[in-house]
Structure formats: structure tokens, C-alpha cells
Amino acid sequence: MRAAVLTEVNKPLQILDLEQEPPKANEVRVQVKAAGVCMSDWHIMNGDWPLPLPMVLGHEAAGIVVENGPGVSTVKPGDHVIFSFRPNCGHCRYCSSGRSVLCIGHNDTPRWLMHDGTARVKLNGTPINQMARIGTFSEFVVCPAEQVVKVRKDLPFTHAAIIGCSVATGVGAVIRHAKVAAGASVLVGIPAFAARAPISPFNMVFTEKTISGTYYGSVRPDIDFPILADLDMEKKLDLDSLISRTYRFDEINEGFRLLTLGEVARGVIVFN
């Protein structure tokens, strides 16, 4: 199968033919149908976030399950799924308290390998890393089953893909802000914090305000992705307006060029 691989920082992605092993225990194989072109991938491409290369990039995507490894019961072949770039072990203190995006249950293995510490894709026998254990700039992905969430089949794959990162992060942050607003809290994301003057500690004390951060919109992917899918299909979210352009897989580097020029809101790669 083909995948877009970063082999060197500040170089274009290379679409290479890779060998892919079948899913092992608690893993699935997914045919990717759409994948978003995101700045998080660009931060790896330009060296802002140093990670071991070569690596299949991509983390915002959706597709169809084609094969289950032993022990998988949450999805089955034929299910439409959205990828989550965060693990969900289900038993660490964060997962147990409903904050799975902060999961620490798999910290004993690198986040670019499977939970057993091995790779599922190789180039001429050499292991290739997968961004966030998924690496969705790929025709097929083998990944932990906990990182895919079943959604309704009438949801367009382009919409499903961006729900997996940008929509979940943005909508989740707004919802989190609404929850804390009753306590006169202030939600500050990195861009907003950098763009405005610091909040006076004196004013915060005497008005009992708090500053609250949010990662991945503080969403619960297994619960919130299907909810966001329903909101989109009910026309309560306008995801069409977010998608400026779609690309063929072989146009992926053009997608990143336009992204860095600020000429698109969200570009999405559509796989045949």
C-alpha cells in the first residue's frame, strides 16, 4: 500500500510503496477514505517538533474498517470510523475519570509504534514510524482499536476526517469555556494568549477568575465524535464552510504549500 512518508526535515513528503503487516491483538486495519491537511503535521515536517524519521504522517482522518485483530469487539469490518490521535487505555487515572485525551496508560512505548513496541509498516524490511500510532496519510492503516471510533455511515468522509482533530478541538474548547463561564473563568488557548496582554493577577484574585487550558478540546472521542457527527448531519454544525479544498493523494505536498500560505481554511485529501 502507498503512504506519504517524511524521510527528512524540510523536504517534501514522499509517497512510497510500503509493506504492511496484518493487525495483531487489539488492533484494526482501516482503509483510509479522507485525511485532513493539518498544521500539526507541518510542525513535524519543518522540524518544530523533532520526531524520529522516517515517519508516515497524518492524524486527522476517517475510513472503513477492513480487518480486526484478535480481541477487538468495539468495531467490525464495514464500520465507518474516525481516527483519534490520542490513546485510550481505559484504566489509567485519566481514562477512569473521563479525561481519556490525557491517557498515560501506554507511556511505556513510543507514540509512533504499536503498544508492543513494534512497527506495522516497513520499507524493504526497515520499520517505518506512524505519527500518533496511526499515520493516516496512507491508503491503509493498522493501529490500536482504541484509536478508532465508530460513526454513522451517512456522514461524509471529508466531514468525518476533520471531526477527528480540528472540529473536536474547536467545538470542545467552546463547550469547555461555556461550562466554566458560570464561575467567571477565562479559557485561554495558545494563540489567544499570545495575542493579548497578560491577565492581571490582581484582577483575577478579586474577581475570582481562573485560567483553564484545554487539550484536544477536552473531548471524549468515543462519546463525542458520534455526537459531533449527528450535529453535522442535523445541520447544526457547518463543516462544509470549513473545507476550502480537496486534493488527490498525490497532491499532498501542494496541500501543505497552500496551508502555509494561508490560502485555505481546511484542505482534505480524498482517497479513491
More confident residue, 186 or 33: 33
C-alpha cell at position 165: 482533530
Residues with catalytic roles:
38, 40, 43, 59, 165
Q: Cα-atom radius of gyration of the chain, to the nearest Å? A: 19
Domains of the chain: 2-164+218-270 (3.90.180.10), 167-212 (no CATH)
Cα–Cα distance measured from residue 108 to residue 141, given in angstroms and rounded to the nearest whole number: 22
State pLDDT tens for residues 204-240: 777 777 777 788 888 899 999 999 999 999 999 999 9
State pLDDT tens for residues 83-142: 999 999 999 999 999 999 999 999 989 999 999 999 999 999 999 999 999 999 999 999
Q: pLDDT grade, residue 193 (50/70/90)?
A: very low
Q: Is the pLDDT of residue 191 over 60?
A: no
State pLDDT tens for residues 6-36: 999 999 999 999 999 999 999 999 999 999 9
* Distance (Å) of CA 160 to CA 26, 134, 144, 220, 267: 23, 16, 19, 16, 13
Residue type, 230: D
